[in-house]
């Protein structure tokens, strides 16, 4: 699976979005985009040093007045990088297609006179996501630090739990923060001499801007 498959899925989602949004008032659709800050336990570096991109689509179903459930399809970059100005040098970008499923609880009602324009300013969310590693890009100074030796044997399926919160500036536009941590290990043992990497475990932060129709 290559990056053009990701583009195809996102375009399909964009084409389908109006039908999902306007078919019933129970459903809402939107666009999410932002940045990730990642680290991998076991890569000889500490801190969320690897910055990446994240973008995709969200569809949410209204469960109750203060509760939604949502599903997204997003392109997400994770990975590993050395601490700034601290050798050895390494940088690995892992490109994923992710499908997060979340439950949202709303609070802080904002009333605008017209009931149809009322909205909740704050949301709290919890959920899980499935990610599929589609490709990666790697560079290093030749040392064994980072995850370079383990790249041929990475586990391509990623299962994460996530927790976060959102703040809506208007009914349609908001910002979201999420903490994601992988449940399964990133490394799939295979080649002799790389068993050290069996402890590799991903976790990352996501900072998103959202527009919900």
- CATH (domain of 160): 2.40.160.20
Domain that holds residue 109: 3-212
Task: Evaluate the omega torsion of the peptide bond into residue 194 and state whether it is cis, within 30 degrees of 0.
Answer: no
Distances (CA, A) of 114 to 21, 44, 68, 174: 21, 55, 22, 20
User: Could you give the CA distance from residue 109 to residue 106 in angstroms, rounded to a whole number?
Assistant: 8
How many separate domains does the chain show? Answer: 1
Band (pLDDT 50/70/90 cuts) for residue 152 is: confident
pLDDT (0 to 100) of residue 22: 47
pLDDT value, residue 51: 97
pLDDT above 70: residue 116: yes
Tens digit of pLDDT for each residue in 12-65? 555 455 554 444 578 899 999 999 999 999 887 889 999 999 999 999 999 998
Predicted TM-score (pTM) of this structure: 0.85
Q: How far apart are CA 62 and CA 172, in angstroms?
A: 15
Torsion of CA 194, 197, 198, 199, to 10 degrees: 160
pLDDT tens per residue across span 154-207: 999 999 999 999 999 999 999 999 999 999 999 876 655 556 666 789 999 999
Q: What are phi and psi of 65, to 5 degrees?
A: -55, -40
């Amino acid at each position: 699976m290559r990056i053009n498959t990701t583009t195809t899925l996102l375009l399909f989602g964009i084409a389908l979005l109006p039908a999902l949004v306007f078919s019933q008032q129970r459903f809402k659709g939107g666009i999410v985009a932002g940045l990730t800050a990642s680290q991998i336990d076991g890569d000889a570096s500490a801190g969320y040093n690897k910055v990446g991109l994240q973008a995709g689509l969200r569809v949410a179903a209204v469960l109750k007045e203060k509760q939604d459930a949502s599903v997204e399809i997003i392109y997400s970059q994770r990975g590993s990088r050395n601490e700034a100005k601290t050798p050895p040098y390494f940088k690995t970008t892992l490109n994923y297609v992710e499908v997060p499923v979340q439950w949202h609880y709303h609070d802080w009602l904002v009333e605008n006179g017209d009931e149809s324009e009322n909205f909740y300013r704050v949301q709290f969310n919890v959920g899980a996501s499935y990610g599929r590693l589609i490709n990666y890009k790697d560079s290093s100074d030749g040392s064994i630090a980072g995850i370079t030796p383990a790249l041929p044997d990475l586990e391509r399926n990623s299962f994460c739990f996530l927790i976060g919160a959102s703040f809506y500036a208007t009914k349609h536009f908001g910002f979201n923060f999420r903490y994601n941590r992988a449940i399964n290990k990133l490394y799939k043992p295979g080649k002799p001499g790389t068993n050290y990497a069996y402890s590799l475990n991903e976790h990352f932060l996501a900072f998103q801007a959202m527009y919900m129709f």
